[in-house]
Structure 1
Amino acid sequence: MSFKSRNLLIVARRLMPSIHSIITDKNKLIFTVITIVFTFVILGYLIFSQWHILVTYNWKLRPIYLVVAFVIYSLILLFNTLTWTSIIRNFGSKKDFGIHFRSTTISALGKRLPGTFWYVIWRAQLYKEEFTGPVIAYASGVEMVITVIAAIIISSIFAIPLILKYQYSLWVIVLMLIICIVVLHPKILAWSFKKLKLNVDRIPYKFYLFWVGLYLIIWLLVGLLLFLFGNFFSDIPINDLPYFIGSTALTGVISRLLLFSPSTFGFGEISLSLLLSNILPSSFAVVIAISNRIFIISYELIWALISTLSTKSELQSQN
């Protein structure tokens, strides 16, 4: 091989990672654009197919429901914080509840960013004095598995007719439940801790049951939250509340199937719109689904601001 050819080969090898990164980023961008277009097409169709119902609907904008919804969201945030606090303390954290609360409020916003694991990176920054990134990532993974198990249980109670409506959905959900239970098995966790070189003691089963119990409450409250958003716009019978709970939990289960997808933009809105269309006009269902995201992000911003300001106030008082 000539000197010139050898130099070209060296340059090519150095450029390969950059070229691969560019191609990968380009593919992610294309996938994201396709997802966005698909979302607008589906939601647009659901709206305009029943546009006449939307413009003649009996709208009753009642702010009191948004106030109650904020209280419910605050309870959800509290239970989220309690769960995460218990999980991370089992991994050895000694930080006080305030840090864990801030972690929950900030990571809630991080989940809204494109990509799957931004919120894990944010958490890692908050706990960098105590843990390495892999520990936070693994603890967040345990939290994710607990979330899915609780969502499957709630779906099995409130959304079983929806699950049985589709041929393979029941088997998919059963398979997900089995995988989640296996992942949380003490021997599997111990093996994982050893492989990742994490110095974490064995976590007793009672904590897993406690975490699942907390997330069962969370999923019930999430369904109630969506129901309140719907009632902000118009009267929805209380008899439909179980359906709202089942729909939110089922959407939560299905969305985890796309966990490693480059983009999940609009998936929750499409899923909720299609599910709610079984009991509501499709155009109204889309309004509720989109408003659900907007209102929740607003609540997340409020609590993230409160958490940040309180932390800043504590630091100033210490100085």
Structure 2
Amino acid sequence: MDRARVLTVVRVVVAAVTLAAVVYAVARNWADVSVHLGKVSFGTFAWSTLAAAVGTWLTMLGWRTILRDLGSDLHLAPATGVYFVGQLGKYLPGSLWSVIVQADIAAHLRVPRRRTAVTGLLALGFALLTGLLVGLPSVAFLLRQSSAGFPWWLLLAVPIGVVLLVPRLLNWCISTLLRLIRRPPLEHELSARAVLTAVATFVLVWLCFGVHTWLLATAVAGDAPHPDLATAALTGYALSVSLGMLLIILPAGLGAREGLLTLILSTAIPTPAAAAVAIMSRFIVTLLDVVAALVGWVYARSHDLVSERRERAVGSELGSR
């Protein structure tokens, strides 16, 4: 068995074990979890879904900001087609399939593949770093630390801020990477304005998803919410998803994200209630991803950005991996 197949087997096994552990934990406490799921009213569900939808839309705008600054100014409609169809690739083990699919579709719009690929990787990087930044207050909850004393974990914001706010360093990293893989350099460098705009956009993304989580958590908490619930909910989603992104062997952080969010929220509400929030959040976000991809695919299909032959080729390539 060659190395590629060994890695594939390892990824599948780890993903299956993680998912099985989460399913087992939920099933064991399903009686309590289901009670809390029933506490979420239709109105709360709708507002929470709206907050997540705004966050989902903003992710595309952040990606589009980077692509435009690198030289390809796509209008909203084609950008939607490229970005959201590609986003379904994150549900495959490896987490980088979204970048590959986006580059393939954008090529039909005469966007160089390396430009789209760099944009996708930068968007993932910005999302990860801003997610860690927004999620820093939840580190204390995750580590079960007391809030007394100096919050040393805030110092982690320093290196994150340096990376995000120094375009020269980012441009050097991009040019070095392209040179190492023997690809031509990009025609345009990232500007400071584009970096700041993208960073601000992704911070708003995480805040929207934080509101989405807080609405669900408040609903299941009942009449006596814990004083730390707002902080845990508003920042816990960003931290759990960002840490889940680092586990690239898991599709969209499946299992790890829910486990981490449950741990963070369980410091403020009962564990079954926290699990209910994590489950409902995953359902809402996945549903939005599918709907957004469907809308994007309809546009892409109607404008010949994808074809049946290319769809079969991409599907075959993804399936073979």
> TM-score interval w.r.t. the shorter chain?
0.7 to 0.9
What is the alpha-carbon distance in structure 1 between the residues aligned to residue 186 and residue 37 of structure 2?
59
What is the alpha-carbon distance in structure 1 between the residues aligned to residue 39 and residue 267 of structure 2?
21
Q: Say if 1:26 and 1:203 are closer, same or farther in 2 by CA, change over 3 A.
A: closer
Q: State whether structure 2 residue 210 is matched by structure 1 residue 223.
A: yes
SS at match of 1:279: coil
What is the Cα deviation at residue 132 of structure 1? 4.6
How many residues align structurally?
292
What is the Cα deviation at residue 42 of structure 1? 4.4
Deviations 1:178-218 (A, max 9, x none): 79457953333343344432333221212111111111111
What is the alpha-carbon distance in structure 2 between the residues aligned to residue 289 and residue 179 of structure 1?
32
What is the Cα deviation at residue 127 of structure 1? 0.9
User: Which runs of structure 1 show a deviation greater than 6 angstroms over 4 or more consecutive aligned residues?
Assistant: none
What is the alpha-carbon distance in structure 2 between the residues aligned to residue 154 and residue 148 of structure 1?
10
Q: State whether structure 2 residue 189 is matched by structure 1 residue 202.
A: yes
Contact 2:210 2:238 in 1 (8 A): yes
**TM norm structure 1:** 0.76
Aligned to 1:144: 124
Q: Say if 1:33 and 1:82 are closer, same or farther in 2 by CA, change over 3 A.
A: closer
What is the alpha-carbon distance in structure 2 between the residues aligned to residue 122 and residue 143 of structure 1?
15
Contact 1:150 1:215 in 2 (8 A): yes
Aligned to 1:297: 286
What is the alpha-carbon distance in structure 2 between the residues aligned to residue 58 and residue 257 of structure 1?
29
**TM norm structure 2:** 0.76
Contact 2:81 2:295 in 1 (8 A): no
Contact 1:163 1:170 in 2 (8 A): no
Aligned to 1:186: 171
What is the Cα deviation at residue 96 of structure 1? 2.1
Q: State whether structure 2 residue 6 is matched by structure 1 residue 23.
A: yes
Unaligned stretches of 5+ residues in structure 2: 147-151, 305-321
- Aligned with 2:81 (options 79, 95, 102): 102
Deviations 1:31-57 (A, max 9, x none): 333323333344456x27xx5x55766
What is the alpha-carbon distance in structure 2 between the residues aligned to residue 84 and residue 108 of structure 1?
11
What is the Cα deviation at residue 310 of structure 1? 4.6
Deviations 1:85-108 (A, max 9, x none): 111112221432211122232233
Q: What amino acid sits opposite 1:155 in the alignment?
A: G
Aligned to 1:14: none
Q: What amino acid sits opposite 1:100 in the alignment?
A: A
SS at match of 2:135: helix
Q: What amino acid sits opposite 2:21 in the alignment?
A: F
What is the alpha-carbon distance in structure 1 between the residues aligned to residue 12 and residue 19 of structure 2?
11
Q: What amino acid sits opposite 2:101 in the alignment?
A: W
Aligned to 1:135: 115
Q: What amino acid sits opposite 2:172 in the alignment?
A: K
Equivalent pairs: percent with the same residue?
16
What is the alpha-carbon distance in structure 1 between the residues aligned to residue 63 and residue 256 of structure 2?
25
- Bigger shift: 54-63 or 246-255? 54-63
SS at match of 1:299: helix
SS at match of 1:191: helix
Q: Say if 1:161 and 1:34 are closer, same or farther in 2 by CA, change over 3 A.
A: closer
| Higher gyration radius (CA) | 1
Aligned to 2:256: 267
SS at match of 1:128: helix
Q: Say if 1:247 and 1:131 are closer, same or farther in 2 by CA, change over 3 A.
A: same
Q: What amino acid sits opposite 1:288 in the alignment?
A: V
Contact 1:28 1:262 in 2 (8 A): yes
What is the alpha-carbon distance in structure 1 between the residues aligned to residue 80 and residue 190 of structure 2?
22
Q: What amino acid sits opposite 2:22 in the alignment?
A: T
What is the alpha-carbon distance in structure 2 between the residues aligned to residue 115 and residue 66 of structure 1?
31
Aligned to 1:278: 267
SS at match of 2:187: coil
- Aligned with 1:249 (options 238, 252, 255): 238
Aligned to 2:21: 38
SS at match of 1:95: coil
Aligned to 1:60: 39
Q: What amino acid sits opposite 1:284 in the alignment?
A: A
Q: Say if 1:202 and 1:311 are closer, same or farther in 2 by CA, change over 3 A.
A: closer
Q: Say if 1:161 and 1:208 are closer, same or farther in 2 by CA, change over 3 A.
A: same
Contact 2:217 2:233 in 1 (8 A): no
* TM-align CA RMSD: 3.4
Q: What amino acid sits opposite 2:203 in the alignment?
A: L
